[in-house]
Amino acid sequence: MVAGVRVGFGCLGRITLPQFNISGWALGWSRIESDAFFGSGFPGSGLRYIESTRCNRGGVASGSQMQDWPWRDGRSRRSGYLVRSTQFSGGTMEKIASGKLIPWIMSVLVLVLLTPLHSGASPLSFELTYAKKAWGGPFTGRVYVMLSSGNPRGLLSGPDWFNPEPFFALDVVGWKPGEKLVLNSAALAFPLAMKDVREGEYIVQAVLDRNLGGRSFATSPGNVFGIAAPKKLSGAEGGLVSVTLDQVYQERPAPQVSGVQNFRLKSQLLSDFSKRDVFLRAGVVLPASHNQSPERTYPVVYEIPGFGGNHLMAAGRVGAPFTRLGETEAAWVVLDPDCPNGHHVFADSQNNGPFGQALVEELIPALEKQFRVGGSRGSRLVTGHSSGGWSSLWLQVRYPDIFGGVWSTAPDPVDFHDFQRIDLLSPKANLFFDSAGKIRELSRNRRGKALTFRDFSKMEDVMGRGGQLGSFEAVFSTRGVDGKPVQMWDRTTGQVELKTAQSWQHYNIAKILDDRWKELGPKLNGRLHVFCGTEDTFYLDGAAILLRDTLQKNKAKAVVEMIPGADHGSFMTRGFREKMSLRMEQVLRANRAGAVP
């Protein structure tokens, strides 16, 4: 098969050609009875004199528009079709009348023989348009196409970490409603190139990411999207798939659950930073007696969910062991850690803004006043899991006069000398390869699957925003001259940028505790509780062990418990939560008595 050239051929005598395809311009007769085909060419090609050429079999042309073709004697025959792709299968060309074309024919035949072969169908690509009724535009930003071989309920939020299906992205400038945009093999792609998409039936989803504040590049409020019906596709022969983006994503409303109230507050600090309105949100679970005791103030536990979680998780926090800590009634507040760059961990940063300050100066005072909870350090606890585990520990260490105790479970790396088994402060640190040149795993192998830093980094490059690794950079890195977080690792080689890694030390919890324990110890003794499995799915156990060693070296009164054989979440049983709630009650009682817990 021949592709990608604009050539012409004629014939003298009888010539038998193998099956081939010329993806160029071809002119063929519309008279089906003659099944005529006389060549492929374009003005200036030198093809000027062929009166008729009969194809004995297989000459097929699909036309697009009529064209006048100049004949040698000046006549015009308006009977051809100018077409983009003409397939000629095993045809035998037979000369009826001829001109002096032998040198031209020979040169073209050489070109035909030297050109690589390919199949007749066009490779997979996507043609997108968005409706003005969905958004007036024009749009500058990133556009996505996601494929799903399953049956998703509505719009996908993004790739599945452990089982990513093909998705593609393209940055555009000034894209207008109704204007056609094509994503082809030049688009960013993960986990494989567009041409390598395996044959199968897929649902195609396309998204225009307006980036108005949500974490997901897809399911963020205001994003424009479209979903095409299931279609059989393959990278090599998928053809052009059209999708119209005519829907606007609306965030699902908070479920109505008895005992749960939703709280929303505009943050002036964050709005000033972002130059747009930014709201802090929380799900508030009140104890059973709250409405019957209008003069009573209850202790409160603030929970920060892990990556991908938010305040809507409050619906699952009703009753013991949440709003009843042993015999003590308490309010349980689930915070929303989402931001456009991922999980902001309630740490002030140059890229996300002052989320920690906004929490302690804006949200907590307003929420506690409205719901009659907290009111003092001694009646205010904090907890969280995974990224939320890091957040909760950070808040306790950063604001020891605000929170009276922390329960951090499976926290993200709390010591950057073991950042998921990588010493970021080593001059030869590499995110993708270990010292022996072996690919680094980001996760332990579970059910035959393990994540690698290199693939995860590639995936997040296509995502553009809202990824887990990108969240770390958004919080810990300084702001670059381009307005984006300074990159901590080279996206091609994986080499860690030592200067950037050293700048992250401002957020290295173990280092902060070690450097400042004389100052922080009196405020934190008896209040630090950290739990992690020895087989953590994401290799977070190493940093937790280093934190334990740091606290032991400083003779801190703290709990860092490594749970044998447990992974990232398997130890979070109801029994574990009940023990945790009993310890929370003990700390609250000690706080009320003015004692060290």
In a domain, 214, yes or no: yes
pLDDT at residue 560 greater than cutoff 90: yes
Domain shared by 138 and 188, yes or no: yes
Domain containing residue 306: 260-415+508-593
Instruction: Tell me the average pLDDT across 549-572.
Output: 98
pLDDT at 120: 54
Q: Give the span between the Cα atoms of 97 and 452, in whole angstroms.
A: 66
Domain shared by 278 and 391, yes or no: yes
In a domain, 223, yes or no: yes
In a domain, 74, yes or no: no
In a domain, 543, yes or no: yes
Domain shared by 284 and 358, yes or no: yes
Question: How many whole angstroms from its chain centre is CA 382?
Answer: 29
pLDDT at 46: 34
pLDDT band at 13 (very low <50, low <70, confident <90, very high): very low
User: pLDDT exceeding 90 applies to what percent of the chain?
Assistant: 75
pLDDT at residue 502 greater than cutoff 60: yes
Domain shared by 297 and 194, yes or no: no
Single out the residue in 219, 249, 279 at which a domain terminates.
Answer: 249
Residues in Cβ contact with 75 at an 8 Å cutoff, skipping those fewer than 6 apart: none
Domain shared by 232 and 311, yes or no: no
Domain shared by 212 and 324, yes or no: no
pLDDT at residue 569 greater than cutoff 60: yes
Comparison of pLDDT for 14 and 177, the residue scoring more = 177
pLDDT at residue 398 greater than cutoff 80: yes
Domain shared by 396 and 266, yes or no: yes
pLDDT at 524: 98
In a domain, 514, yes or no: yes
**Which DSSP string corresponds to 238-297?**
--EEEEEE-EE--PPPPP--TTEEEEEEE-HHHHHHHTS--EEEEEEE--TTTTT-TT--
In a domain, 501, yes or no: no
pLDDT at residue 65 greater than cutoff 60: no
Q: Per-residue pLDDT tens for 313-362?
A: 999 999 889 999 999 999 999 999 999 999 999 999 999 999 999 999 99
Give the chain's domain count: 2
pLDDT at 118: 45
Single out the residue in 194, 226, 249 at which a domain terminates.
Answer: 249
Domain shared by 157 and 288, yes or no: no
pLDDT at residue 71 greater than cutoff 70: no
Beta strands in 153-259 (DSSP E): 167-175, 181-183, 188-190, 200-208, 224-233, 240-245, 247-248
Domain shared by 172 and 304, yes or no: no
Single out the residue in 249, 271, 300 at which a domain terminates.
Answer: 249
Alpha-carbon dihedral 15, 16, 20, 24, rounded to 10 degrees: 20
Domain shared by 243 and 276, yes or no: no
Looking at 39-48, 188-197, 391-400, which range is the least confident one? Answer: 39-48
Q: Report the alpha-carbon angle 521-307-410, nearest 5.
A: 45
pLDDT at residue 248 greater than cutoff 80: yes
pLDDT at 338: 97
In a domain, 272, yes or no: yes
Distances (CA, A) of 431 to 417, 419, 426, 456, 500: 13, 10, 11, 11, 13
pLDDT at residue 225 greater than cutoff 90: yes
pLDDT at 70: 36
Looking at 68-77, 164-173, 366-375, 427-436, which range is the least confident one? Answer: 68-77
Domain shared by 201 and 272, yes or no: no
pLDDT at 121: 74
pLDDT at 253: 84
Distances (CA, A) of 24 to 29, 87, 99: 17, 11, 23
Instruction: Tell me the average pLDDT across 5-26.
Output: 33
pLDDT at 373: 97
Q: Per-residue pLDDT tens for 92-124?
A: 333 333 344 444 445 544 444 444 444 457 999
Comparison of pLDDT for 36 and 412, the residue scoring more = 412
Here the CATH number for the domain that contains residue 335 is 3.40.50.1820
Instruction: Tell me the average pLDDT across 54-63.
Output: 32
pLDDT at 21: 34
Q: Give the span between the Cα atoms of 584 and 579, in whole angstroms.
A: 9
pLDDT at residue 37 greater than cutoff 90: no
pLDDT at 107: 52
Q: Per-residue pLDDT tens for 269-320?
A: 999 999 999 999 999 999 999 999 999 999 999 999 999 999 999 999 998 8
Instruction: Tell me the average pLDDT across 250-264.
Output: 90
pLDDT band at 252 (very low <50, low <70, confident <90, very high): confident
Comparison of pLDDT for 516 and 23, the residue scoring more = 516
48-52, 92-96, 583-587: range with highest mean pLDDT: 583-587
Q: What are phi and psi of 509, to 5 degrees?
A: -60, -45
Under 8 Å between Cβ of 400 and 524? yes
Under 8 Å between Cβ of 233 and 200? yes
3-state helix, strand, coil in the chain (%, to 5): 25, 30, 50
Domain shared by 278 and 220, yes or no: no
Phi-psi domain of 542 (left: phi exceeds 0; alpha: psi -120 through 50; beta: other): alpha
Distances (CA, A) of 59 to 8, 37, 81, 455: 15, 6, 13, 46
Residues in Cβ contact with 301 at an 8 Å cutoff, skipping those fewer than 6 apart: 322, 325, 330, 331, 332, 333, 381, 382, 383, 584
In a domain, 284, yes or no: yes
pLDDT at residue 36 greater than cutoff 70: no
3-state secondary structure of 380: strand
Mean pLDDT of the chain: 84
